[in-house]
Amino acid sequence: MGWIDSHCHLDFDEFSEEHDLTQRLITAGCDHILVPAISANKFKRLQEFKNRSNRLNESFVYIALGLHPYFLKQHELEDLSLLEALLKNEPPLALGEIGLDFLLESQSHESQIHFFESQVRLAQKYELPIIVHCRKAHDQLCSILKRLKFFRGGIIHAFSGSTQQAQNYIQLGFVLGLGGALTYDRAKAMHKMIKLLPENAYVLETDSPDMAPSFAKGQVNTPFNIPQIAQHISELRGETAAQIFKASSQNFKRVMKLS
């Protein structure tokens, strides 16, 4: 049973010397990876990574293009025009990584909201799902999506909110990205939430090279950790790892409009 890493950054410098990484992942059982952008000055690099990596398998690497809230200081208003031009001429699988990060200073929140709303409108215009980064702003972000009537769904990356917040996203057509954070014993609330999730509500992810799971703490995170993350989920849910792989892959393909 193959698996998908729905969120990793293999275009980052940490992997620049891993010339056979794509082939090794395919050999290990990985069917697809989705690599989201973080800023406009990385769009070209990401597109080149996709083209280079897909020489062996034309649909192995999918990409998303967007402006990440954590890197707000790198963004210019003109970047939204560049993003739209790419969506029109070289459409990615999704728009992302976008969202709100209210752990950042409060002075940045208004600008974050502007970039987020602008990109949600682009996703509506070009009929794309979105890849969402959200910290300490789930209620505000959900409210914006409802106000803008965005119902195309997507993935809530690295979700660690409440069961009620999870339900709010699911009702809007989203699935939740489950990764290394759930492997830590202290993540009791997350464990409870995962046990209650419907089968159609989650995908697997790593956020490589960051967010290393407990069994790889202090190491560079990679998609090779997905099977062990899936094993943790299977133990929480009382299901087999094969069931977790199947549900996650089906959910990814559904929400990304691949099925």
Which tokens sit at 22?
Answer: 């794509």
pLDDT of amino acid 2: 95
How high is the pLDDT of residue 56? 78
Nearest to 206 by CA among 219, 194, 195, 189: 219
Q: How far apart are CA 255 and CA 259, in angstroms?
A: 9
Please, are residues 130 and 83 in contact by the beta-carbon 8 Å criterion?
no
pLDDT at residue 18, rounded to an integer? 87
Distances (CA, A) of 47 to 9, 15, 51, 167: 12, 16, 6, 34
* Digitized pLDDT (tens) for each residue of the chain, 259 residues in all: 799 999 999 999 999 998 899 999 999 999 999 999 999 999 999 999 999 999 878 899 999 999 999 999 999 999 999 999 999 999 999 999 999 999 999 999 999 999 999 999 999 999 999 999 999 999 999 999 999 999 999 999 999 999 999 999 999 999 999 999 999 999 999 999 999 999 999 999 999 999 999 999 999 999 999 999 999 999 999 999 999 999 999 999 999 999 7
Rounded to whole angstroms, the Cα distance separating 104 from 93 reads 28
pLDDT in the model for residue 103: 97
Distances (CA, A) of 105 to 72, 136, 220, 235: 11, 12, 28, 38
Please answer whether residues 132 and 99 qualify as being in contact, where contact means their C-beta atoms are separated by less than 8 angstroms.
yes
Domain ranges of the chain: 3-255
Two structure tokens written together for 164: 């009620």
Report the C-alpha gap between 203 and 219 in whole angstroms.
23
The position carrying tokens 């998609």 is: 223
User: Tell me, what's the pLDDT at 232?
Assistant: 98
Name which CATH class applies to 3-255: alpha beta
